[in-house]
Amino acid sequence: MTPLTVSTSDPKPLTSNDARDVPSSGLHMRDLQLLLNPWLLGLAVFLVPSYIMLAERVWASDEQGHGPIILGVTLWLAWQRREAFQKLPDASASIAGWLLVALGTVAYVVGRSQYVDTLEILAHLPILAGVLMLTKGAKGLKWGAFFLFFLLFMVPLPGVLVQAITTPLKIAVSLAAEYVMAGVGYPIARTGVILYVGQYQLLVADACAGLNSMFTLEALGLLYMNMMNYTSVSRNLTLATLIIPISFCANVIRVIVLVLVTHHFGDEVGQGFVHSFAGMLLFGVALTLMIVVDGLLGRVFDPRGRVVTEQVMS
């Protein structure tokens, strides 16, 4: 057995290279400099009133309840990737950057003064894109491209457009639920978006149409693909497209569950806790289907996005 020896020599001084390997906690000085950057402070003063408006008027509704989730995830993910942004070389002011800021500012002022929520929030995107170009150039814009696209899901849709999409969605969900339940022998009938089962009648409301869940799941799907670092454009587009029917199917399952609970246990149970639970069930089913579909796509596309073809050995 080798004897245990104790060194009495002076400890080796810590070099600058060693110091970089020592994990640190808390904020670095460059993080503080980033938080106190004049551009960031200016954006906060300029744009925060819009988010206060959203919290008071828009995000309180069921249709736009996903807004704070989109904003929170964007801020968290941008903070996690701040080192990549800080390592980018500073860029000189560009005409394109100033044009984007000017365009966004005009749209912001018009939207806010005329109470057009969609225009006011949509104006944030060119302003943010312009600031990225003015600070880090095209590379900065490339760094923030995903965040800008992700924030699109936070923009409130115009009421006319929401109504135009919601009505056919409600009819399609009602029709699908009626078809499935009639196929397994339940006494169900439908008039428009009203389902009749036994002695009960259930109205498929706007919240049950699935537009909100469709936007939320599409945003979560994009976040999932980004976190998985998928570089295949064809695979990403295929999964993003398939999320739409996945969301629709999950919403049909939600409506069927509510109809079944109401039919067997009464209207009070169906409209109580189970109604809220059905919303959680919707996202659980949709996320499960999305992961399953992604696994299947992994067998169809190789890492470069090319379709995998089986080679027959002769």
20, 112, 235, 254: the active-site residue = 254
SS (H, E, C) the chain: CCCCCCCCCCCCCCCHHHHHHCCCCCCCHHHHHHHCCHHHHHHHHHHHHHHHHHHHHHCCCCCCCCHHHHHHHHHHHHHHCHHHHHCCCCCCCCHHHHHHHHHHHHHHHHHHHCCCHHHHHHCHHHHHHHHHHHHHHHHHHHHCHHHHHHHHHHCCCCHHHHHHHHHHHHHHHHHHHHHHHHHCCCCEEEECCEEEECCEEEECCHHHHCHHHHHHHHHHHHHHHHHCCCCCHHHHHHHHHHHHHHHHHHHHHHHHHHHHHHHHHCHHHHCCHHHHHHHHHHHHHHHHHHHHHHHHHHHHECCCCCECCCCCCC
Residue 236: C-alpha distances to residues 124, 220, 230, 239, 301 (Å): 26, 13, 7, 5, 10
Distance CA 211, CA 289 (A): 18
Catalytic residue among 81, 208, 249, 304: 208
Is 254 a catalytic site residue?
yes
Q: How far apart are the first and last CA of the chain?
A: 61
As a dihedral over the C-alpha atoms of residue 168, residue 170, residue 173, residue 178, rounded to 10 degrees, the angle is -110
**Pairing mode, strands 188-191 and 194-197:** antiparallel
How far is it, in rounded angstroms, from Cα 303 to Cα 236? 11
Q: Residues with catalytic annotation?
A: 208, 254
